[in-house]
């Protein structure tokens, strides 16, 4: 778990540093050409968001405790940190985890942690709707734990982790000047199987 949390802590700091350097370089170039003050919109924006939704997790039998293919519906929650340039390009880092509906641990439990680094582009469809496709890489950890039902001994617990390609497709709806609502769809095939997620969320611009 620490292998996932550590990049999550460091990534926003590195992303913010890179964005500040890019913005500073852009501002210096603009100043050399013009003495006009640069508005906040011309500098780009930092965005912080929260998402929650539903997910369908499928695990291949090579990664299950029972030795059979496994599929379950669960909840997902996550946080997102992004930088969007004035030209509508964006870079994003996010952390998402699934929450199994069996909170008592009676059956086998499979929990997925995802740390995604994505790049994308915001297409303005209308003044109040934006289409945002994103692609990148997902560093994931799958925690498996044997259920307590019909298991007299200690529960078996195994962790798997790897990095795979991922993509997302989102719709964003600006509500107020610094607040956006959005819906995101993800269908990613991982080494262990696949996950399909539909998230609703909101983000603040700074």
Count Cβ atoms below 10 Å from residue 194 Cβ, excluding itself: 15
DSSP string, 23-58: HHHHHHHHHHH--SPPPHHHH-EEEEEEEEEEEEEE
**Bridge partners of residue 104, in order along the sequence:** none
Tell me how far apart the alpha carbons of residues 28 and 43 are, in angstroms, rounded to a whole number: 11
In the chain, where are the structural domains located?
A: 2-205
The predicted structure's pLDDT at residue 195: 95
Q: How far apart are CA 2 and CA 195, in angstroms?
A: 22
CATH fold group of domain 2-205? Porin (2.40.160)
Digit-by-digit pLDDT tens for the chain (206 residues) are: 544 444 444 454 445 445 554 444 444 444 444 434 555 556 789 999 999 999 999 999 999 988 999 998 999 999 999 999 999 999 999 999 998 776 666 778 899 999 999 999 999 999 899 999 999 999 999 999 887 666 666 678 899 999 999 999 999 999 988 999 999 999 999 999 999 999 999 999 99
- Cα Rg, the chain, nearest whole Å: 20
Q: 């913010």: which residue's tokens?
A: 16
């Amino acid at each position: 778990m620490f292998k996932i949390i550590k990049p999550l802590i460091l990534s926003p700091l590195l992303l913010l540093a890179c964005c500040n350097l890019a913005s500073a370089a852009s501002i210096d170039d603009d100043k050399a050409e013009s003495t006009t003050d640069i508005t906040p919109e011309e500098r780009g924006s930092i965005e912080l968001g929260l998402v929650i939704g539903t997910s369908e997790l499928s695990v291949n039998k090579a990664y299950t405790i029972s030795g059979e293919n496994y599929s379950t519906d669960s909840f997902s929650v996550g946080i997102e940190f992004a930088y969007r340039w004035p030209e509508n390009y964006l870079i994003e880092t996010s952390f998402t985890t699934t929450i199994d509906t069996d909170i008592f641990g009676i059956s086998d439990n499979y929990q997925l942690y995802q740390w995604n680094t994505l790049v994308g582009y915001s297409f303005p469809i209308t003044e109040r709707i934006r289409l945002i496709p994103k692609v990148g890489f997902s560093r994931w950890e799958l925690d498996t734990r044997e259920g307590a039902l019909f298991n007299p001994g200690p529960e078996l617990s195994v962790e798997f982790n790897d990095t795979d390609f991922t993509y997302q497709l989102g719709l964003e709806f600006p509500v107020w000047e610094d607040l956006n609502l959005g819906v995101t769809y993800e269908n990613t095939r991982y080494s262990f199987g696949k996950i399909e997620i539909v998230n609703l969320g909101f983000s603040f611009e700074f």
